[in-house]
Amino acid sequence: MQASLVVTGLRKVYEGSGRRVEAVRDLTFTVDTGELVCLVGPSGCGKTTLLKCVGGLLAPTAGEVRLAGRPVSGPPPGMAFVFQEYGRSLFPWMRVGDNVELPLKQKKLSRPRRRELVADALASVGLSDAAGAYPWQLSGGMQQRVAIARALAYEPEILLMDEPFAAVDAQTRADLEDLVRRLWRQRGMTILFVTHDIDEAVYLGERVLILSASPTVVREQLKVDLPEERDQLHTRVAPRFAELRTQVYEQIQAAKRGEAVRRTDMPPLH
Ligand SMILES: Nc1ncnc2c1ncn2[C@@H]1O[C@H](COP(=O)(O)OP(=O)(O)OP(=O)(O)O)[C@@H](O)[C@H]1O
């Protein structure tokens, strides 16, 4: 399968105000076209820094990010984001439909086509009825579904999700996880999903990349060999799910203790 995203030797050092922080030391990984990869690591390990570099919002100190063969030096046209803070990512003065349509205005699309994409995306997240509402009239989970619809309508080559469900309650979170899996399977999108939640990473991902503590490297990557058809009730109690989450948990604990990466045990970073 063709690699959609290629990150090579990525390093980011923050400098300023007399402080120097090496947030990301050396990250190399790929995400294949149509793959759903979860990135998980201890708090403060540089997940957001990495995503900002991947999204072209922050220039790396060294290394390179390529999307579909092209180097990323600013926000690439084929990329969409869903952030944790849905409250800040939607414009409160714009109706839901207009929020979803806004990024499409950058694309040279006819008005009817834009409307079609908006209607289709809102239907995909079960919010067809909310197009005329304002974001603040919706629950947190619904607002995050609007943010997902906005990303879908844009028809991205790759979707970056930065802890998107951290601010919603557990029940809503489970529903949104299932929504992401369903949309991923229906639309064949490439998704890079960042989370600090081990269970979420294993439940969602086809592959989990475990990051070390900052300065960050890829500690291990794990293929999630669970069936593609997953559901909250059965997948989470499957013995294989428990084994995988234990492996990720042990790696994260070792990362927190600052233990060296066991490079010999690592599968090849294809
Ligand atoms: N603009 C900045 N200037 C200086 N240091 C920064 C800046 N942004 C992040 N850092 C530092 O880089 C390191 C990684 O931060 P980052 O926010 O990328 O981690 P994270 O894994 O996303 O954290 P969390 O899981 O807590 O959200 C931290 O030590 C942080 O203090």
Give the domain CATH number at 244.
3.40.50.300
Ligand 1 atom closest to the CA of 44, numbered from 1: 23
Count CB-CB contacts under 10 A for residue 86.
Answer: 23
Asked if residue 237 belongs to a domain, the reply is yes
Does residue 261 line the site of ligand 1, with CB under 6 A? no
Q: Label residues 19-56 b or e (16+ Cβ within 10 Å = b).
A: eeeebbbebebbbbebbbbbbbbbeebbbbbbbbbbbb
Asked if residue 111 belongs to a domain, the reply is no
Q: Which two tokens stand for residue 86?
A: 């849905």
Asked if residue 147 belongs to a domain, the reply is no
- Gap from CA of 43 to ligand 1 centroid (Å): 9
Residue-level pLDDT at 265 = 44
Ligand 1 atom closest to the CA of 211, numbered from 1: 21
Residue-level pLDDT at 75 = 87
Asked if residue 108 belongs to a domain, the reply is no
pLDDT under 70 in the chain at which residues?
Answer: 1-3, 260-270
Asked if residue 175 belongs to a domain, the reply is yes
Domain that holds residue 42: 3-78+156-265
Distance between CA atoms of residues 192 and 194, nearest Å: 7
Residue-level pLDDT at 95 = 97
Structural domains of the chain, count: 1
Does residue 28 line the site of ligand 1, with CB under 6 A? no
Does residue 44 line the site of ligand 1, with CB under 6 A? yes
**pTM for the whole thing?**
0.90
Residue-level pLDDT at 260 = 67
β-strands 62-67, 158-162 pairing:
unpaired
Strand-pairing partners, residue 71, are 66
* Secondary structure (DSSP) of 15-36: EETTEEEEEEEEEEEEEETT-E
Ligand 1, atom 2: closest residue by C-alpha: 14
Q: Which two tokens stand for residue 28?
A: 């190399």
β-strands 79-82, 216-223 pairing:
unpaired
Q: At what angle do helices 111-124 and 140-153 cross, to 10 degrees?
A: 140
ipTM of the complex, rounded to two decimals: 0.95
Asked if residue 150 belongs to a domain, the reply is no
Asked if residue 255 belongs to a domain, the reply is yes
